[in-house]
Structure 1
Amino acid sequence: MNFLWYPLDDLPFIFLVLVIAFTVHEFAHAYSAYKFGDRTAYDAGRVTLNPRVHLDVLGTILLLVAGFGWAKPVMVNRGNFKYPRLMGIIVSAVGPLSNLLIAVLGIAAVYILNQTGAIDAASHGVQQAIGHFSYYLIRINLLLFLFNLIPVPPLDGYRIIQDLVPVRTRIKMDEHAQWGMFLFLLIIFIPSLRQHTLDPLLGYWQNIFVYCVNKLELIFNSVDWVKIWTDFLI
């Protein structure tokens, strides 16, 4: 019986992708906050690409088991920013954007490897490894990008909204944040709620991303990404 959310055989690839995705995401938050004048994350040792500093053991295990998890949040003091609202939005946004960047770089890498013939020259085992790793690298980072932009606490999308709305509205949002977080956790861990709320939303945004990739294929010699991944995974 497989108790994991992902296939057991793919666990090494998925764990490596999660280490990369979580580490880069939290580093992006910490580094941008530090560059904007807030030393909170820097003094806590978070401005680093060392995975051990950013990974949360329980959050990583839950992602593998339940498909939902988290890394250690980066503490940010917006009061140290010259322009708290603007810089707060940027610091919140760079985390999800870093995951989008990784996904785009993954797509570019697959395209380059395919066009240069490097994949065809590799052994079948190497082709399989490249296929599995690139598939999960792109898929998981895309999901993290979309997931973290959902405007509910404690996700980055919620913090972005907080910096966009008037101060009075932000105060009211903070007063009800705990209920929003409670509701969000119910949606995550109750399959019936998740299937009718979060899953369709993420699926909708994934379809938009796939549509954009398909349009880019017209520019990049009509590369069939689905066929490439299928060839790798079979």
Structure 2
Amino acid sequence: MFEHFNLSDFMIKAALSVVPFMFAVTIHEVMHGYAAYKLGDNTAKNAGRLTLNPIAHIDPVGLLVLLLTRIIGWAKPVPVNYYNLRHKYGVAIVSAAGPLANLITAFLSAVVLKILDFADVNFNIPIDIFKPLYIMTFYSVVINIALCIFNLLPIMPMDGARIIWNFLPRDKAAKYEATEKYYFLIILVLIFTNVLQYIISPIRIFILKIFNAILNLNITTGFM
């Protein structure tokens, strides 16, 4: 479906990626805050961050990185006081909530693609009616998958690192947490050496293959 699309124009791609990106980072941060709230921490709720209004979550730099790379981006982290969590592995649960929300959103977006595909094939609805929605939904799939993978990298203070941290002995956890000061440098190196792309792409393709098998679709990263 839509094989004839030509989205080589950077501005078109960037514009169509903004809405799904804003929703992806919003649901990611809200679920962090909601998980923390359910485990006893009201910090995010009191800060007004348990809202689906993207303005409360968008980080201008993270949005700019998305527009430039169309691979990854980020939002303002939801504030969480881990000392308030009423669970031994509360940090891991809260940290996993964001990436899990992105993975679920990616799958639901793939379901929407299936519905649009079904409508086009079975009801002969003109393609042009669905074109912007289809493309944005496609971006929702790939952006949410990429955001899930990106946040699970074992680099402090990202979600993957927080999950690992929660299972480490106290002395090793402290040493691991101390690496956070190198976070920005590590991310810059990964982006500009294209290593981040080599990390994310194979996993993203694997997840897309699973979605394709479940939904009988043919989602690729051809639009990116």
Q: Shorter-chain TM-score: which interval?
A: 0.7 to 0.9
1:132 — aligned with what?
135
Q: What SS does the corresponding residue of 2:89 show, helix, strand or coil?
A: helix
Residue 28 of structure 1 is matched in structure 2 by 31
Gaps of 5+ in 1: 218-222
Q: Root-mean-square deviation (CA), in Å?
A: 2.4
Displacement of 1:177: 2.1
Residue type at the aligned position of 2:210 = C
Contact 1:154 1:181 in 2 (8 A): no
Q: How many residues align?
A: 215
SS at match of 2:153: coil
Runs of 4+ aligned structure 1 residues displaced above 4 Å come to: 116-120
Counterpart residue number, 2:218? 225
1:100 corresponds in structure 2 to 103
Q: Which residue of 1 aligns with 2:201?
A: 203
TM-score (norm 1): 0.82
* Residue identity opposite 1:209 in structure 2: I
Q: Contact 1:60/1:70 (CA < 8 Å) preserved in 2?
A: yes
Out of 172, 176, 197, the residue aligned to residue 173 of structure 1 is 176
Task: Tell me the distance in 2 between the aligned counterparts of 1:37 and 1:155.
Answer: 21
1:78 aligns with 2:78: no
Paired position in structure 1 for 2:61: 58
Q: Select which of 31, 35, 40 maps to 1:37.
A: 40
Distance 1:214 1:23, change over 3 A: closer
- Cα distance in structure 2, aligned partners of 1:61 and 1:198: 17
**Match for residue 157 of structure 1 among 155, 160, 183:** 160
Shift of 1:180: 4.5
1:41–1:76 contact (8 Å) kept in structure 2: yes
* Aligned mates of 2:84, 2:203 — CA distance in 1: 34
Residue 116 of structure 1: how far off its partner (Å): 4.7
Contact 2:190 2:196 survives alignment (8 Å): yes
User: Which residue number in structure 2 is paired with residue 220 of structure 1?
Assistant: none
Structure 1 residues 159, 119: closer, same or farther in 2, change over 3 A?
A: farther
C-alpha displacement at 1:200, in angstroms?
Answer: 1.6
Residues 47-81 of structure 1: CA deviation (Å, up to 9, x unaligned):
11111111112221222124443211111111111
Q: Name the CA distance, whole Å, in 1 between partners of 2:129 and 2:14.
A: 17
C-alpha separation between the residues in 2 aligned to 1:106 and 1:179? 35
Structure with greater proportional helix content: 1
Q: 2: distance between equivalents of 1:176 and 1:48?
A: 31
CA drift at 1:199: 1.6
- Larger RCO of the pair (alpha carbons < 8 Å, separation 6+): 2
Amino acid across the alignment from 1:60: L
- Given residue 203 of structure 1, which amino acid in structure 2 is its aligned partner? S
Give me the identity figure in percent.
31
- 49, 52, 64: which one pairs with 2:52? 49
- Structure 2 unmatched runs, 5+: 1-7
Shift in Å, 1:126 = 1.5
Cα drift, residue 182 of structure 1 = 2.1
AA of the residue aligned to 2:135? H
Verify the 8 A CA contact 2:57 2:76 in the aligned structure 1: yes
Cα distance, 1:226 vs structure 2:
4.1
- Amino acid across the alignment from 1:202: I
CA distance in structure 2 between the partners assigned to 1:35 and 1:225 by the alignment: 38
